Every structure is written in structure tokens, then in C-alpha cells.
Chain A
């Protein structure tokens, strides 16, 4: 729970107290009756630390201070920083933040309790490795520079602070008062009441003006956006299409001998014209050069008599039927017909898919 980087002074003290728990007290505890209340408060909070809270070390500053000087090496330990802080804040020793979760302790008893407790806080020096991380050093340094709670969570409830240390809040408030004096006084209330109606009118005007401005803005935005997307949509219907015609002639039937895959139309039209035996019938058909897996262009391998896709290794027979690799369906056929002049004409605007039973359509092949 108690993350080291967020260790507040109060938590360091609690840790010190917990550490002291086992050792017997060396002197008579000062202000014994005051302690009992603190001990009660502590028992409700932390079951491990009550004893230590009840038995603070009577003269802790000298011993741990010496230890810290030797143990911490070149670096100021938390204990040293704390000692420094304590010496600075000697006058208002009650400053050290009480347990944030123990606000119920009697305010009068507090100062008496806090004093010895604060002294015991020097104990961590006996174990310098405990809290030498940057965060806790910073926290300790901050506590030294401006004694008090580090965060809001650590802060004691306000009224108690006021009762405990009346000087400090007063000192703090003083500059605030000065600042307040420097600022011109606010208009008195009656004046505001007088102009209430006018104010409302002004606000109403603002509302209308702003509202209409917003409405205008959004209207303008949506109109511009609509026009812009219409303009974009216009790009889908260009005036001139630089595409090869979807119908083109590939030559006479005699140019496609039996068993031949004609690849010379691939570069321009993306078509193989094949003369092959399909289901006992000699046909000439046009295959689309797009792999049915992911759309790459397969290559016709004459030696292996197959179309092979370079992307994922799909393979198709000469009739376009897939047999290896991941391609899920056969290559598609384009429409083909015998034109009036006797040449074969391929129509790329219509495709025929085997898995839909469209290859039986006489428009996608020519019998020879």
C-alpha cells in the first residue's frame, strides 16, 4: 500500500514508530495522558504500531543523528533532512502532519503528542536504505522548506490546523489579505440587483447572437462539406476514361491452335485466350488474369502446364480450375464471341464463374 515514492512525513513517522515497536522504552514518556488518546487513535488505524506510538524515545535526536552522519555517506539521508527540517521548524514543532486518517484525536492533546512523535521520526536513520529514493528525499526536502502537508490527502482537516497552530495560518493569510486589498472592490450587491434586468437582456442578446452565429457556422460547414463531397463524387464519373475498350478483337480462330495458352494479350488486356479440352469438348475461351485468392497476376508455366500465382503459390490448370495453394475458386472467364468479320471478340464487361455454374453458358466459350 504505502508506495515509497508517495511517502509523506506522517508515513515516515509511522514507519519509524512501527520499527520501534519491539524495543523497550528507555525513559519515562512525556505527557502520558495525552499519549493514551493518541494510542487509541493509532490502534484504530494501524494495529502494528500502537505500542511504539505510546513509547517514544525521550532523546532520539542525538543518537540517530550521529548514526546518520556515518551511515549515509556523502548523501543526505532522510533522517538528516528531517533533522534539518525540525531545527528550522523548531518554533512551530506541531507542524508535522498528523495521520490524515486520524483526525478524531483531541485537538488539545495533539501538540503534546506530536512533539515526541516527531522526534522519533529520526529513527529511520538506523536503516538508511529504507527511504532513499528520489521521491521521498524530495518530499522530505519540501517538508523542510515549507513545513506542512505535501499533498491534499496528507493535509489535516482545516479547523484542527487552525486550532493547533494559530500563528502559521495567520501568517499565511496575511499576504492574501494584502493582495485582496490591492484588488479593487467588487461592485456591491444592490447595484447588481438594480441592473439585473438589463443584465438578463444582455445575456439573452448574447445567447441569441452566439446561438445564431453557431447555427450559421454549422450551416456553412455542412453546406461546404456537402458541396465538397459532391465535388469528390464527381471524380467517380470522369469525362474521359483512359481505359482500354472492354470489347476487343483477338484474331481469327486459326490463330489459337489446340492446347495453346496465348499470353500476348496479358500486358494490354489482362486476358489469356486458351484453346483446350473442357469436359470432352474442344473450346476457345478467355480467362481473366486475376488470381481468385488475392488478385495478383499468375504466370503461365508452359513446362508445368499450369497457371501459378507468385504471391501465395496458388495453381490453376489450363482450364482455369484451382488445384493447389489457397485460391478458393477457379479463374473467371470473360465473354467471347465470333464477330461478324470472323474474328474472336472478347467482352471484358461480363465475367462467368465456374462455382456459380456459369461456364455452361455458351457465351463464354467457342467450340472448335
Chain B
């Protein structure tokens, strides 16, 4: 077997020679992992063949299942060289290419593609293929020590589950929305109106909840036994773990804090998220889509919500969990988390850019011994460019949008509701805008008044 591995490995470019002990450790898991995928696909093929009478697809997935069985047996062969994994060169390439810019733009592009071609992606066969590709890619990546050490960390396992669960639920909802949109286009009522049967809370719902409760409790017990949460060293006010990470559900917030002052990213933006979610039903004037899934009928609401939820919350959680390492530096998925990684992240404030770099003169500074008022005057002068920009963004932009892009919205919503919606949207967009400014211009703060801890 050893000989076969060394001769076949380079030929296929599929095997790797990473540290042997790690691979021996992970091989057992990978064996059962691939076996699981194989069983899953075999059952799927059986259902296709017996129930759906789709023999062609059944054969395809049966063949795929047998390929998975081959991978499983390779992983379980006992030889570390035979464990299937991604070639080293491709992993290096992924590491070199990945960065916050590519990650954010890439996920945006991915979501755009998924949205535009949703009619294609909601087909069961396509979705099943995507799921299998994702599972196999994850299995192959798992043979990399750095990748596995992050993904298999007990803290991070829920995030892996979150990725797959969210993908599944979004797929289900999108599928129903696509079906409904097609029906509405043909003048038929949405699917939900056909099966309009009301169900009683007791016993139908309560029993279901009870069964779910029992099942989830059993699952959590098993999980806690199999994947114990690691205890760390005693807390100390002068020793911060490196990297120091918030609970997984706050990693989006922690990522926001990279671009903002704490009062804004830690207090104002989270409050606005809660406030915005509460305001949603009052801002919504679209009567359609009530009680059934639909994308076409509520495109604006759908896109805004999905942008806020997926792009500004979920992808940031994934970024914070898997790709932010020591010193909060960005690490590629196959990169070793060294605390000595050097990344040049120098950044400057807007006043510095404006006065020093652009006008080539020192920052306006109050003369020695000036009174409080004159000091404030000098600060305001220094921050004038940022304050003007921010004022224009928050004060001028809403009316401007009201007479251009959101003309119909303004007419339907009225002044107050429109203003609330426009300002909430603009404040939400400060996050991506600030990110882009940081990446492109190395801009730290638009308004920087450290004298009063007021930075934006």
C-alpha cells in the first residue's frame, strides 16, 4: 500500500505528505466522514430509483457513493500518505490569494450569483450537488493540519453546523419563493394558500415541540460528552488571550469594531440593529407576500434584509471564527496561526489626509494657553472635512434619494417613515463603506476627536 501511495500520489496530485502523526489522528475521522457521505448518497440514489423513477440520476449518485467509499477506504488504510487531501500548491495559492478584501467581495459576488440564478440553484439536483461538493472539499481540506485545527476546535464546530444549516434553510425558503413567484406570474395563488388547513396548538404544535425538546436535549448531551468545551487559564486583567475572540454570535460585532470606535460599533450600531428590526413592520408598506414566500413581490425588503443578515452578520461571523488569528490578523484557511505574522496595516485619519497630505500644512492646532472655546473652534476646523462629509451623507442624502431613487417610496411612506428608513439604511451602509475606505485609502477615521473620545 505504501508503494502504491507513493506511485499514485504524485500522478493524481491528490495526496499529500503532511505531518504523519496528525494525518494518522485525523484519518479515522475522515474514514467515517467519507463513509457517511457515501451512505447518504446511496440512500439518495435508492430513493431516486425506487420512488422517483429517475434511474439516470440514481446511477450517477450510486457511482458517486462508491467513489466516496474508495476515499473512505484510502483514509482508513492506515497509511498517512494515502489520506486524500488537496495538493500543497493549491493550498498555498488559496492562502496567498485570501484576504479580507477578497473574502468580502467574494462572498458578495457569491450571494449575487446565488440570487440572480436562484431558479437554477433551487433545483434539488443542483442543490444536492453543491452540498456534496462542499462536503468533499471540506473533507479534503480537513487533511490539512492548520485547517483541521481551526475547524475541529470544539468552539468552532457550531459555526460549521451553522454554515450548512443556514444554507439549507435559505435554500428551502428560496425554493418555495421561486415556486410561488412562478405561480403568481401565471395568475395562480401561492402554494401556501392551497394547503390552508389550520392546525390546533394543542395537541399538534405542543406535541411537536415536546418531541423536538427531547431530541435536542439528547443531542446536546451527546455533544457535550463528545466535544467538551476547552477550559482556559484563569482570567487576568493584564493578560489577554491571543487571539481574543468574542462568543461566536458576537464575532460580527468584533469585526465591526476593527473599523470603528467602540461607542459606534459597540453601542450605536447594535442598538440600531435592534431598533431597525423592530421598526421593520412599521416601515413596510408592501402588503404583498403576507403569509407566503415570495421574492419577486418584495424584492427591496428581501435584498436589504439578506444583505444585512448574510453579508453584514453571518459572513463576518465566519470571517471572525475561521480566518482571524493572533493579533486579529487575517489568515488564509490553510495558514499556520503564528502570532508573529507581519501585516502592514498603517492607517491615517481624514484630517491628516486633508490638511497634511493634500494641503501640505500642519493640522490646525490651538495655540498654547487658549481657552476651551477657541480649542473647540480649532478642533472643529481641523475636523471640518470629515464633519461636512458626514453631514452631507446623513442630512443631504435622504432628501436627494427621496426625489431620485426612492421617489415612489417617499410618496407611499410619508416624510417621517421615509426619513427613518433612509437613515437606518444609510447607517447600515456605513459599515461596508468604512471597510472599503479602510482597504482602499487606509483611512482610519473620518472624524477623529480623541480629545473627547469622539471618532467616526
B450 touches A312 (CB 8 A): no
Point out the residues of chain B lying under 8 angstroms from A133, CB to CB.
196-198
> Which B302-330 residues have a C-beta within 8 angstroms of A?
326-329
B455 touches A323 (CB 8 A): no
Contact of A294 among B200, B241, B262, B346 (CB under 8 A): B262
Nearest CB of B to A294, in Å: 5
Q: Does B274 contact A (CB under 8 A)?
A: no
The 4 closest A-B pairs by CB, nearest first: A313-B328, A329-B450, A310-B242, A324-B345
Q: Answer whether A134 and B198 are a contact pair too, CB < 8 Å, given A313-B329, A313-B345.
A: yes
B198 touches A267 (CB 8 A): no
Nearest B residue to A295 via CB reads: B262
Stretch in A17-25, A52-60, A212-220, A300-308 with 4+ CB within 8 Å of B: A300-308
B451 touches A355 (CB 8 A): yes
B238 touches A267 (CB 8 A): yes
Nearest CB of B to A284, in Å: 21
Nearest CB of A to B173, in Å: 24
Stretch in B252-260, B293-301, B396-404 with 4+ CB within 8 Å of A: B252-260
Residues in chain A within 8 A of chain B (CB atoms): 4-5, 133-135, 266-268, 270, 289, 293-294, 296-299, 301, 303-304, 308-313, 315, 323-326, 328-329, 355-356
Contact of A311 among B236, B328, B346, B453 (CB under 8 A): B328
Nearest B residue to A328 via CB reads: B455
Q: Does B261 contact A (CB under 8 A)?
A: yes
* Alpha-carbon gap, A298 to B242, bound state (A): 9
Nearest B residue to A308 via CB reads: B327
Point out the residues of chain B lying under 8 angstroms from A267, CB to CB.
236, 238-239
Residues in chain B within 8 A of chain A (CB atoms): 196-200, 236-244, 254, 257-262, 266, 326-329, 339-340, 342, 344-347, 444-445, 448, 450-451, 453, 455
A328 touches B261 (CB 8 A): yes
Nearest A residue to B325 via CB reads: A310
Q: Which of B258, B326, B328, B344 has the most CB of A within 10 A?
A: B328
A293 touches B262 (CB 8 A): yes
Point out the residues of chain A lying under 8 angstroms from B200, CB to CB.
134
Point out the residues of chain A lying under 8 angstroms from B326, CB to CB.
310
B196 touches A310 (CB 8 A): no
Point out the residues of chain A lying under 8 angstroms from B266, CB to CB.
294
Point out the residues of chain B lying under 8 angstroms from A328, CB to CB.
261, 444-445, 448, 450, 453, 455
Nearest CB of B to A107, in Å: 37
Point out the residues of chain A lying under 8 angstroms from B254, CB to CB.
311-312
Contact of B240 among A293, A304, A310, A329 (CB under 8 A): A310
Contact of A323 among B199, B342, B346, B450 (CB under 8 A): B346
* Alpha-carbon gap, A310 to B337, bound state (A): 13
Q: Answer whether A325 and B345 are a contact pair too, CB < 8 Å, given A309-B327, A312-B257, A355-B451.
A: yes
B450 touches A355 (CB 8 A): yes
Point out the residues of chain A lying under 8 angstroms from B329, CB to CB.
313
Point out the residues of chain B lying under 8 angstroms from A5, CB to CB.
198
* Alpha-carbon gap, A15 to B199, bound state (A): 24
* Alpha-carbon gap, A365 to B329, bound state (A): 33
B238 touches A134 (CB 8 A): no
Point out the residues of chain A lying under 8 angstroms from B257, CB to CB.
293-294, 311-312, 326
Q: Which of B238, B244, B326, B346 has the most CB of A within 10 A?
A: B238
* Alpha-carbon gap, A293 to B241, bound state (A): 16
Nearest A residue to B196 via CB reads: A133
* Alpha-carbon gap, A51 to B244, bound state (A): 77
B327 touches A356 (CB 8 A): no
20 A-B contacts (beta carbon < 8 Å) = A133-B196, A133-B197, A267-B239, A294-B266, A296-B240, A299-B339, A301-B340, A309-B327, A310-B241, A310-B242, A310-B326, A310-B327, A311-B240, A311-B243, A311-B328, A312-B257, A324-B346, A325-B258, A326-B260, A328-B445
